[in-house]
Structure formats: structure tokens, C-alpha cells
Amino acid sequence: MLFNRVGSWIDQWKRQGLEQGLEQGRRETRHLFTRQARRRFGPAIAAQAESLLTAISDPLQLEELGDALLSCPDGTAWLRILHQAQPTPSTGSVPTTTSTIA
């Protein structure tokens, strides 16, 4: 009985550690996008982008947003894409669906 409980605790700690690591990676990605937006489009666009990026946690959606950041002609286009992005939950699990960003 105790052995099963300890095994369950270990599994739970592993899942929590994995999710914490994934969330840290998402935070670092959002921070990097904010820095890049600041360099390309200025601090006003970067500040708006930062608040919009906080709602995005899906790794594939973040990847698509990173591609869009590189190809946007100006800050207004970048913000428009961010507004179109669907917020994703960060409730302790990695989302299994992705949205297409036009």
C-alpha cells in the first residue's frame, strides 16, 4: 500500500516538474517575442504585444506567432495577428489542438 502511494507521489512530482518546465519555456518564448517586437517595432507595440502574448500557451501557436513576427511588415500587422490568435488554457496540461494563424 505504501509502495503504491510513494509511486503515485513520484509520478505526480514528475508531471508537475514537466509542466513547470514547459511553462518556463513558454514564458521565455513570450519574453523573446516581446524583445524582438521592441527591436523591430518599438516599445509601444512591444508593450501591447506582451499583454496579448500572455494568453497564448500552445507551443505550436507560439511557433506560428514567431514566424509571423519575422514576416510582418509593421507593428500594426503584428498586433492584428496577435489579436486573431486564440487564447489557450494553461491549466496544467499541454493543449492537443492548434489553431491556424492567417
pLDDT digits (tens, 9 = 90+) for 42-73: 999 999 999 999 999 999 999 999 999 999 99
Give the residue carrying C-alpha cell 513520484: 10
Give the pLDDT of residue 11. Answer: 83
Question: Which position has the higher pLDDT, 58 or 90?
Answer: 58
Euclidean distance between CA atoms 33 and 92, whole angstroms: 23
Q: Which residues of 48-58 are buried (b: 16+ CB within 10 A; e: fewer)?
A: bbbebbeebbb
Cell matching residue 39: 527591436
CB 72 within 8 Å of CB 81: yes
pLDDT over 60 at 94, yes or no:
no
To the nearest 10°, the Cα dihedral for 37, 94, 19, 23?
10
Q: Mean pLDDT of all residues in the chain?
A: 85
